[in-house]
Structure 1
Amino acid sequence: MATYSSNDFRPGLKIMFEGEPYAIESSEFVKPGKGQAFARVKMRRLLTGSRVEKTFKSTDSAEGADVVDTNLNYLYNDGEFYHFMHPESFEQFPVEEKTVSDAAKWLQDNAECIVTLWNGRPIAVQPPNFIEAEVVETDPGLKGDTAGTGGKPAKLSTGAVVKVPLFVQEGEVVKVDTRSGEYVSRVK
């Protein structure tokens, strides 16, 4: 893999650090008036999702991580693993529940997800940016009940709970942004 100087660190770059793959989320190059320049980097550990802040000297370098983002279709959950399939080769990838983590509440059958593979092993799952799901449980919106925030919690068919406007009823299909967990619109 390529070697990157700390000057080349950019958000989205995936590097090897302490023997594990990390994704750089932000990088600030600092040139103090006195002393050596350095890069202040915030990065996410791909195996666990934890965030780390690290300072690299301008002379430091890191090897690029051999990770691949692949589009895979979600098939099913057998209780122990979530199963994904490559849409062209039909190769199946069982993914552990801890790897899927928060993405599980947004998974729908045949949803195209971005799965990060490291040495052929799935280490992260990113659901589609937007999903359409049916509201299976919510309080009825009462006429004139607009005091306060103007929203109510609704449970979706995927199991996720999102805040929706008062006019949304059970049985309706809504569009949700999975990155923020926010209601976007009603689907007609």
Structure 2
Amino acid sequence: MATLLEAINVKRKMLFEFENEPYVCLDSDISTPTARGGQTLVRLKMRNLLTNAVFDKTFKAQDRFKEPDVVFVPASYLYSDGEGSHFLDQESFETHTLTPDMLGDALDWLLEGTMLQIRKYNGNPIGLQLPIFVELDVKYTEPAVRGDSSSGSVTKDAELETGRVIKVPLFIKEGEKIKVTTETGEFSSRA
């Protein structure tokens, strides 16, 4: 029998099944009543892994969820075309095609050969688990001008080789390789 997970034990980034669909917890807030006989409630901010819809829902502390049949399979990004984006499963060597809806903004961080994980639900690909950091070249950025920091702005725009534009410190130059956090899209360090 599948393990059941109580709502009060659901933490950030945990996977659970609700109404026969897989979800990931984005945030959890427990409110304990002060009155006698009151019920402890758990407010979950959750994302549906099939539709990417995000919403808040309140549950009783003792409500139970099944663990979803979600597995993460190592894969590499091959290319994108009119059908979608293609990934090579590193275990079975099958090619999986994911639609733009399944990817979100993941292509902003991917180059050919990037290693990542494909998220499968009941054996079918439903999305990606990106690496925490990616290393990308700065394709274009304005040169830093002496005295720029006096205006209070200590960052500038930089276009990455994937086409994504992010904020970087003034010392970053065109052609440099930088490390970017995929979850927030922020500059982390020089690579």
- Shared fold (TM-score greater than 0.5)? yes
Aligned residue in 1 for 2:166 = 162
Q: CA deviation at 1:99?
A: 0.8
Instruction: Provide the secondary structure at the position in 1 that maps to 2:45.
Output: strand
Measured in 1, the distance between the counterparts of 2:171 and 2:29 equals 45
Measured in 2, the distance between the counterparts of 1:10 and 1:186 equals 32
Structure 2, unaligned runs of 5 or more = none
Measured in 1, the distance between the counterparts of 2:131 and 2:123 equals 21
Aligned residue in 2 for 1:177 = 181
Once the two structures are superposed, the pairs formed by residues 58-77 of structure 1 within 5 Å of their partners are 58-77=61-80
Measured in 2, the distance between the counterparts of 1:41 and 1:145 equals 43
**Greater displacement, 33-42 / 150-159:** 33-42
Letter in 2 for 1:25: L
Q: CA deviation at 1:157?
A: 0.5
Measured in 1, the distance between the counterparts of 2:174 and 2:20 equals 49
Letter in 2 for 1:121: N
Q: Which of 148, 151, 164 is equivalent to 1:145?
A: 148
Aligned residue in 2 for 1:135 = 138
Measured in 2, the distance between the counterparts of 1:142 and 1:7 equals 53
Contact 2:3 2:67 in 1 (8 A): yes
Measured in 1, the distance between the counterparts of 2:52 and 2:86 equals 20
Measured in 2, the distance between the counterparts of 1:6 and 1:68 equals 21
Instruction: Provide the secondary structure at the position in 2 that maps to 1:146.
Output: helix
Letter in 2 for 1:31: T
Q: Which of 162, 187, 190 is equivalent to 1:186?
A: 190
Aligned residues: 187
**Greater displacement, 64-73 / 34-43:** 34-43
Contact 1:103 1:126 in 2 (8 A): no
Instruction: Provide the secondary structure at the position in 2 that maps to 1:16.
Output: strand
Sequence identity (%): 40
Measured in 1, the distance between the counterparts of 2:178 and 2:11 equals 35
Q: CA deviation at 1:41?
A: 2.1
Q: Cα RMSD between the aligned structures? A: 1.9
Aligned residue in 2 for 1:111 = 114
Measured in 2, the distance between the counterparts of 1:8 and 1:141 equals 49
Measured in 2, the distance between the counterparts of 1:119 and 1:184 equals 35
Instruction: Provide the secondary structure at the position in 2 that maps to 1:169.
Output: coil
Aligned residue in 2 for 1:123 = 126
Query: Structure 2 vs 1, CA of residues 6 and 175 (structure 1 numbering), >3 Å: closer, same or farther?
Result: closer
Letter in 1 for 2:167: K
Tell me the TM-score normalized by structure 1. Answer: 0.88
Aligned residue in 1 for 2:22 = 21
Q: CA deviation at 1:2?
A: 2.2
Contact 2:74 2:91 in 1 (8 A): no
Query: Structure 2 vs 1, CA of residues 115 and 88 (structure 1 numbering), >3 Å: closer, same or farther?
Result: closer
Structure 1, unaligned runs of 5 or more = none
